[in-house]
Structure 1
Amino acid sequence: MEIKIGVLHTSREITLESDQTPEEIEQAVADALKSGTVLRLVDRKGSVILVPGATLAYIEIGSQRKGGVGFGQL
């Protein structure tokens, strides 16, 4: 699923594809905001994305990605 993260005072958003469920992502965001810690997400390639909870402007959680056709298929 696609996740977009808006960061305060930054014009570009962070976009990643993740295999985490929407519930896992929501819980991680809620925990980071509540405790003021770092939001930690893992993308499909195994890269770790860390964003300070205090700098989160918004999180957009897309729907599950359907099977692709053609060259863009993963």
Structure 2
Amino acid sequence: MSNPRVKFVVGSLVIVAALAWLGFVGFQESKAYYITVDEFRAMQGRAQGKTLKVAGDVVEGSIDRAKSPLEFVIGHQGQTL
């Protein structure tokens, strides 16, 4: 494999494969279903271990930076979580 062109092609393929893998992993991790606070409450523990995104806004004054991990309350349509 002393030919510079072969080295270039192999190196390029390795880089493209690495970028494709990173893109795939990032896409898989970003795939999450948005649910409302009501839907989350209705799940009654079935959400344990699942990747979910909950629709809502952080309730003003609810952020507790003293705790680790950070804790806060989410509000959506009059419901809080």
- TM over 0.5, shorter chain: no
The alignment's TM-score, normalised by the length of structure 2, stands at: 0.18
User: Which has more radius of gyration?
Assistant: 2
The alignment's TM-score, normalised by the length of structure 1, stands at: 0.19
Write 1 or 2 for the structure with the bigger share of strand: 1
Write 1 or 2 for the structure with the bigger share of helix: 2
